[in-house]
Structure 1
């Protein structure tokens, strides 16, 4: 008789927390503050967006803890949605995660890793193939190689994957703290921080086209609208915290350790992100010169290619700062993708077990990991690397993700009514107030995004809805 394969419970609280934090910290924190500064202007509004992001992320993590305790099985959020809403809604979530969310983020993070590797090896920025507007650069091929390597490593067993994740998470948090400490030490010796906070609540939207800068002063509801629009940047930088729920079947005492790791991981990242932004404000002027080639003079708003992290590092370490920051982002993105790849395969495994994904994805290899699910994820993420559309995919994915976060957290209310006697080792802190505030605020952000960025968010919604005919076809085929 063939031995039945099942997941091994290899992951304790420390490794679970490192997976939460490591999956969250990619390249976003080193880039998006520059975009946010152009969107809304004042230092106070930028920090408010990051604080709101931290609150929303923590509120969601506190709420997910209850669902994780109730359903400590592989698949996580997919399983929670199915329990509250049924198979079709859970399929729409899994379909969206496979089509753009997990694979799109893996592709974008891999390309970011390759772009910063190109700082050391400029040849990677050269094109291998160019056909009209379509081109394939060497860095896209390196991005694919990095995904293949990490998929291979994660196929060797969850123990190998968790150890790699822990090493990279520890390295990037240590490096980020070094950037913060040195940044504040150097920055506080100047008046830059106080100058940036002099008119911290003045709001403006800046655009630069063909070298011409246009500034629009924001007042009243226009400020709130722009805050809701630009917060998508910080929310993307803080996303992927829910990946820990996908691997619940491999976590020791998941009823206790998943809620704890969600809270600890999101709290650590929230604090690090706020301190990193303070370091940026201490080192660089907010309103720089868009025509300057000097990194200090460009300031936060006009950082070269939005690489505010590199500009900050150059103030601290001089010319070497660009290479130091490139190395840090390489470590950060490589470690981030390790966690994303490890977790994603488990969700597709759970879908396969329900007959909603390729049958082969529901098999475990000799190392008790869903090898074929991981390789399917690898193949599609690699295709997205070649597409050159990963930047757009992130916009679609983040909006779609917010919709499913709302649904999942509202599922707590549904399940409390539908299954009042189901054991809940952990109950959502602040229920029903905290989950309700989250649902209301994120719903308002989604409405705001539909108004301010209709095309991208509309496409995100379309990708979700495309799953309906696919689900109906699969159900008819199975009947």
Structure 2
């Protein structure tokens, strides 16, 4: 059978191919497991209305994510280049949609998701150090700044930090699961929240909230140009990573609902995890558990800081964005996208100052799912376009899995449109603004 030959639209690869399977799966798990599972328990429960439906929301969100991961893994194995979703969409649909996919990630999704995770993390850090709410934004800015500085070094440094923090985050996760399951006295199923805000949104919004917790899996695709054998490693890292997180999230949710009654979770909201840590393990144990969760979130931030600048770099290499020569700069020794990393950090700072992290998280999921949907449909297009080509990886149970991914994506988009139409219009507007920018940038470089 003939080998699959992609259109020559990928950026020239100057980055180091030094990441193996251990680094790849650590980045997937480390990037996914961060603030969502620890800070979304209250909002998921409020929207779902009962503990049973809350658990189902986490499972349903995981299944949607897994089907999406299996679908995109087929595309990623065929296009193992730096840029991820940006490269996939461009190869399948052409320059304009590809550009918008990249623009969305570097202007809206990337900085917003970093700001959201940092915002949630700063809540726990303020509690940990006994500081007031006025310290939340400064703590978030300092942490993002320091992790950004670390990622100015070569990619092995960020990858090593991902491995360490992924191993470190297993401690608080195991503690919550074991303590909740074996020492909890509540019934994890069947508890009902009696006082729910009218705007809580129902099961659809609950699933949307869980998807923020699962989000981040596709970011490993941005490092396709830095993996040793991306055709094999990329699908494995995505599939094993998402599956592991789905199991972990379900167990954590059951553990929390076994230990705390739903009325307490409803009342505490974002502070549920900090309260559980202290209640279960005392002041000292609670501090240690909180420290573990903070380290977990730092690992998530690092994974995002490691991957998003690669999209900026890929777009700059193509001269798709203003100041491309500046943003495509790589450090001479480490071959890291230095100015692209600084660019993402600065935009994240702006997001932190002007947006609430909970609101940001939902809008991030909506925005990226608009382009996930294009990728899900893209599997059908590629199979038709390359009918007799040999694929490095094929989505199992095709076409059922991609159809489930598409149905889940429609579910996400419709839920958020009904839940927050104003926010949806704002974020879509920011994405569309990219079109005139692409036009003027291309005219500028043609003149040059």
Q: TM-score, with normalisation over the residues of structure 2?
A: 0.90
User: For 1:220-269, what per-residue CA distance to the aligned partner results, in whole angstroms no more than 9, with x for missing partners?
Assistant: xxxxx721122111000110110100011111110000100001111111
Cα drift, residue 460 of structure 1: 2.6
Query: Could you tell me which residue of structure 1 aligns to residue 328 of structure 2?
Result: 362
Query: Could you tell me which residue of structure 2 aligns to residue 379 of structure 1?
Result: 346
Bigger radius of gyration among the two: 1
Match of 1:338 among 302, 325, 335: 302
How many Å separate the matches in 2 of 1:453 and 1:153? Answer: 36
Does the 8 Å CA contact 1:39/1:205 hold for their aligned counterparts? no
How many Å separate the matches in 1 of 2:194 and 2:445? Answer: 55
Gaps of 5+ in 2: 1-11
Does the 8 Å CA contact 1:310/1:322 hold for their aligned counterparts? yes
User: For 1:51-95, what per-residue CA distance to the aligned partner results, in whole angstroms no more than 9, with x for missing partners?
Assistant: 111111111111111111101111111100000111111111111
Query: Could you tell me which residue of structure 2 aligns to residue 206 of structure 1?
Result: 196
Does the 8 Å CA contact 2:172/2:293 hold for their aligned counterparts? no
Q: Is residue 435 from structure 1 mapped to residue 402 from structure 2 by the alignment?
A: yes
Query: Could you tell me which residue of structure 2 aligns to residue 353 of structure 1?
Result: 317
Match of 2:155 among 154, 158, 183: 158
Cα drift, residue 398 of structure 1: 1.3
Query: Could you tell me which residue of structure 2 aligns to residue 219 of structure 1?
Result: none
How many Å separate the matches in 2 of 1:88 and 1:204? Answer: 49
Query: Could you tell me which residue of structure 2 aligns to residue 306 of structure 1?
Result: 270
Does the 8 Å CA contact 1:283/1:315 hold for their aligned counterparts? no
Cα drift, residue 445 of structure 1: 2.7
Output the aligned Cα RMSD.
Answer: 2.2
Cα drift, residue 392 of structure 1: 3.2
Match of 2:251 among 275, 289, 297: 275
Q: Is residue 243 from structure 1 mapped to residue 210 from structure 2 by the alignment?
A: no
How many Å separate the matches in 2 of 1:346 and 1:306? Answer: 32
Gaps of 5+ in 1: 127-136, 208-213, 217-224, 289-298
In structure 2, the CA distance between the partners of 1:112 and 1:274, relative to structure 1 (3 Å rule), is same
| Matches for 1:42-441 after TM superposition, within 5 Å | 42-123=50-131, 125=132, 137-187=134-184, 190=185, 192-193=186-187, 196-197=188-189, 199=190, 206-207=196-197, 226-286=202-262, 288=263, 299-303=264-268, 305-320=269-284, 322-357=286-321, 358-359=323-324, 360-366=326-332, 367-441=334-408
Query: Could you tell me which residue of structure 1 aligns to residue 4 of structure 2?
Result: none
How many Å separate the matches in 2 of 1:181 and 1:152? Answer: 36
Q: TM-score, with normalisation over the residues of structure 1?
A: 0.85
How many Å separate the matches in 2 of 1:138 and 1:36? Answer: 26
SS in 1 for 2:83: coil
In structure 2, the CA distance between the partners of 1:204 and 1:326, relative to structure 1 (3 Å rule), is same
User: For 1:184-218, what per-residue CA distance to the aligned partner results, in whole angstroms no more than 9, with x for missing partners?
Assistant: 1211xx3x12xx52x46x787712xxxxxx799xx
In structure 2, the CA distance between the partners of 1:251 and 1:215, relative to structure 1 (3 Å rule), is closer
Cα drift, residue 144 of structure 1: 2.1
Which piece of structure 1 moves more, 34-43 or 271-280? 34-43
In structure 2, the CA distance between the partners of 1:471 and 1:205, relative to structure 1 (3 Å rule), is farther
Does the 8 Å CA contact 1:172/1:328 hold for their aligned counterparts? yes
Query: Could you tell me which residue of structure 1 aligns to residue 45 of structure 2?
Result: 37
SS in 2 for 1:11: coil
User: For 1:34-67, what per-residue CA distance to the aligned partner results, in whole angstroms no more than 9, with x for missing partners?
Assistant: 1122222122211111111111111111111111
Which piece of structure 1 moves more, 337-346 or 420-429? 420-429
How many Å separate the matches in 2 of 1:430 and 1:463? Answer: 37
Cα drift, residue 423 of structure 1: 4.0
Which piece of structure 1 moves more, 64-73 or 253-262? 64-73
Which piece of structure 1 moves more, 460-469 or 95-104? 460-469
SS in 1 for 2:223: helix
How many Å separate the matches in 1 of 2:367 and 2:27? Answer: 22
Cα drift, residue 180 of structure 1: 0.7
How many Å separate the matches in 2 of 1:114 and 1:33? Answer: 17
Query: Could you tell me which residue of structure 2 aligns to residue 292 of structure 1?
Result: none
How many Å separate the matches in 2 of 1:84 and 1:417? Answer: 11
Identify, as 1 or 2, the structure richer in helix.
Answer: 2
The number of aligned residues is 432
In structure 2, the CA distance between the partners of 1:267 and 1:5, relative to structure 1 (3 Å rule), is closer
SS in 2 for 1:206: coil
How many Å separate the matches in 2 of 1:115 and 1:50? Answer: 23
Does the 8 Å CA contact 1:300/1:308 hold for their aligned counterparts? yes
Q: Is residue 8 from structure 1 mapped to residue 52 from structure 2 by the alignment?
A: no
How many Å separate the matches in 2 of 1:179 and 1:230? Answer: 22
